[in-house]
Structure 1
Amino acid sequence: MRVIEVLSPGLLTTVQDLGREGFGPMGVSPSGAADPIALRIGNRLVGNAEGAAALEMTLLGGTFAFPQGAVGALASSDFGATLDGVAIPSWTSFEVKPGQRLRLGPTRTGARCYLCVRGGLAVEPFLGSASTHLLSGLGGHEGRALRKGDVLKIGDAVSSSRTDTLACSPAPSNPRDPSSRPGIPASPLASSAAPPSLIGRKVAPIILERLALRKTLRVTPGPQSDWFSKTVQRTFYNATYRVSEEANRMGLRLEGPAIPGGSHGEMISEGVSLGAIQIAAGGLPIILFVEQQTTGGYAKIANVISADLHSLGQLRPRDEIRFGSVSFDTALKLLIEQEKLLASEDLIV
């Protein structure tokens, strides 16, 4: 049995996959990776199914030992990783020999980094997913962030098929799983055996450029957008907002110009979606995120499009963002283009 030993957990490290969908009526939000694109690519690098469970580290990484060795990849933000003192680049697969230690420090760019290992992490699934839901204390490793002394088993979630995952298959119709979207191609590795050599595989630079994080988030009109006057909407779209220190996996509270009109006594609570931008009583926007509440009674002026959700996952406190309006047709077109890019045979070199 292969394991990962947690020598230092970092600031907030959890087990995540692509989350669980379809349980909103039960009060359970999807959870899952804050940057699902990084998770999917990281798993591709090591020959896993795209939804295999991995470690998500936030702002400050941890230190991990591999008694039996492993094949790993670090996806997304640069946390200054070293393997026994030797620098390890992001977006590249590498071999960890038995007994070696992987150390990650504070982030240099972005908010989150994913450690994917060949085979994925083997944890007990909750509602079909390995993802940790911190607010409810469910899923992942004992429903919590990792602690010093934790030991995680490595599984066998290789990419022989879309469903060949271990404790990480999302519920049906997961919008973050490309296999559930009609008209969007599955990645080549989702239905073929992993290549014989997994060491030193890299993501093509042109692909990373086209998947670059955005600070102007594209949004579609929210269900209550017509509650806000044209003047108020201009304020919203022309403003620069700052991510507050209170941002977390439930939502990103923003600081900046207040938007009046978000609190309506006559509004009945309704279901909310990932990326919805609700205007709280004080007039400041909150972007609902992966551990959002499942219903809400505040007006939603806009919704971040699916193609930009990965950018939300890399926002840090004090980062500045803006919003740009696009049509629903454009949002769908951008998502399809993004999925085609992720399915490209040129993704990994």
Structure 2
Amino acid sequence: MMEILSTGGLTTVQDAGRRGFRRYGVGVSGPLDALAAQVGNLMVGNAADAAFLEVVIFPLRMQFKQATRIAVTGSDAQMEVDGQRCPPWWSVAVQPGQIVTLPAPESGGVAYVCVAGGIDVPVVLGSRCTDLKAGFGGMDGRALRKGDSLALLPSRALNSNRRFGVLPPCAGIPLPEVEASFSDKTTLVRVVPAAQWDSFSAVTRERFQTCEWQITPDSNRIGMRLSGDTQLKPEKALELLSHGIVPGVVQIPPQGQPIVMQCDAQTAGGYPKMATVVAADMWRLAQAPIGSRLRFQCVSMQQALDANDEVQAYHARVKRAVEFLFQDV
């Protein structure tokens, strides 16, 4: 059992996502940074579908009522166990009564708290994740608040007292190639053309990629709203029926400022779809904080697949290393 002592306001229970219900209008939900969540579960000996906490607004304080193992991944937030600070991307055993604090990170966006065995909340439509928009799953379909108690499922990793960390993706996955003038304070996000790409002129498509887009404060788990010094308009007015959309799709509303759809996005929409963020860069997008800037780079489908191979290779290296540590447990 663990108890929430305080929270910044947007901490939710998530898991790998609610799959197979989009045809009924039910979104996927799950983590904004799936890679960080997957690695966190590996670091506590969990299955890939175990539930965890996603922390979007900091700080978070929690007390554990039983011995367990936890890992914090995602941003560079350094958890404190009874005031003792741990490095980012770290796994440690905790004892009954210990208090874990997750302060605001110096860089990065969301963080993940994975607990051995996983968090035990009711399974709704095959998943434990929270759908804030629809108001179900997780802890009664809402963000966690002070006084909430969460049960934990059993785990074999509890027999290990090892303290260890892993190399985060920003150090373990090759960066995309960029031009020499590209700012190191701007996140590069690769995209592939979407259905209405050709409805925009070549000049507009170029501006989409050369503009530095700022992430605005009204971004959330439904969509990341961007603001830039150019407006993206199709060459001709488009009258589109609502059509399917998925996380990562870049929609262009009438004002011409992009919206990148996120995990809690609706399953259909009527705005033109200009591009789709490649799967390999969704974690980069999730770790870009409010107010930071990003740029898009259009790549081929083969380049997108190659980038995904690099992410999978990183995941495989982490998995092998963690399994070696837990082999005697």
For the criterion TM > 0.5, the same-fold answer is yes
* Cross-structure match for 1:94: 92
1:133 corresponds to which of 131, 137, 141: 131
* Cross-structure match for 2:281: 308
Residue 269 (structure 2) pairs with residue 296 (structure 1):
yes
| DSSP 3-state at the match of 2:104 | coil
* Cross-structure match for 1:209: 171
1:233 corresponds to which of 181, 205, 226: 205
The alpha-carbon distance between structure 1 residues 201 and 97, as it changes in their structure 2 partners (threshold 3 A), is: same
Superposed displacement of residue 308, structure 1: 0.6
* Cross-structure match for 2:118: 120
Cα distance in 2 between the residues matched to 1:211 and 1:137: 36
Residue 327 (structure 2) pairs with residue 329 (structure 1):
no
| Larger displacement relative to structure 2 (31-40 or 329-338) | 329-338
- Aligned positions of 1:71-82 closer than 5 A: 71-82=69-80
| DSSP 3-state at the match of 1:44 | helix
Aligned residues: 311
Cα distance in 1 between the residues matched to 2:77 and 2:227: 27
Cα distance in 2 between the residues matched to 1:270 and 1:216: 28
* Cross-structure match for 2:217: 245
Question: What value does the CA root-mean-square deviation take over the aligned residues?
Answer: 2.0
Provide TM-score, normalisation by structure 2.
0.89
| Larger displacement relative to structure 2 (211-220 or 285-294) | 211-220
| Larger displacement relative to structure 2 (260-269 or 243-252) | 260-269
Superposed displacement of residue 51, structure 1: 2.3
| DSSP 3-state at the match of 1:15 | strand
Superposed displacement of residue 111, structure 1: 1.3
Cα distance in 1 between the residues matched to 2:300 and 2:190: 10
* Cross-structure match for 2:43: 45
- Aligned positions of 1:151-230 closer than 5 A: 151-156=149-154, 158=155, 197=160, 199-204=162-167, 209-211=171-173, 215-230=187-202
The alpha-carbon distance between structure 1 residues 26 and 101, as it changes in their structure 2 partners (threshold 3 A), is: same
Cα distance in 2 between the residues matched to 1:222 and 1:28: 22
Q: After TM superposition, which residue ranges in structure 1, 4 or more long, deviate above 3 angstroms? A: 193-198, 211-214, 262-265, 345-349
Cα distance in 1 between the residues matched to 2:12 and 2:175: 22
Superposed displacement of residue 112, structure 1: 0.9
The alpha-carbon distance between structure 1 residues 95 and 299, as it changes in their structure 2 partners (threshold 3 A), is: same
2:101 corresponds to which of 100, 103, 109: 103
Superposed displacement of residue 315, structure 1: 2.0
Superposed displacement of residue 264, structure 1: 3.9
Q: In structure 1, what residue type is equivalent to 2:305?
A: L
Superposed displacement of residue 153, structure 1: 0.2
The alpha-carbon distance between structure 1 residues 20 and 65, as it changes in their structure 2 partners (threshold 3 A), is: same
* Cross-structure match for 2:259: 286
Cα distance in 1 between the residues matched to 2:212 and 2:242: 29
| Larger displacement relative to structure 2 (240-249 or 63-72) | 63-72
Superposed displacement of residue 282, structure 1: 0.4
Query: After superposition, what is the alpha-carbon deviation per residue over 1:260-292, rounded to whole angstroms, capped at 9, x for unaligned?
Result: 128844211110121000100101100001011
Query: After superposition, what is the alpha-carbon deviation per residue over 1:145-192, rounded to whole angstroms, capped at 9, x for unaligned?
Result: 001110000013x5xxxxxxxxxxxxxxxxxxxxxxxxxxxxxxxxxx
Superposed displacement of residue 11, structure 1: 2.5
Q: Is the 8 A contact 2:12 2:138 kept in 1?
A: yes
Cα distance in 1 between the residues matched to 2:235 and 2:119: 42
Q: Is the 8 A contact 1:262 1:300 kept in 2?
A: no
The alpha-carbon distance between structure 1 residues 65 and 324, as it changes in their structure 2 partners (threshold 3 A), is: same
| Larger displacement relative to structure 2 (338-347 or 280-289) | 338-347
Any gaps of 5 or more consecutive residues in structure 1? 159-192
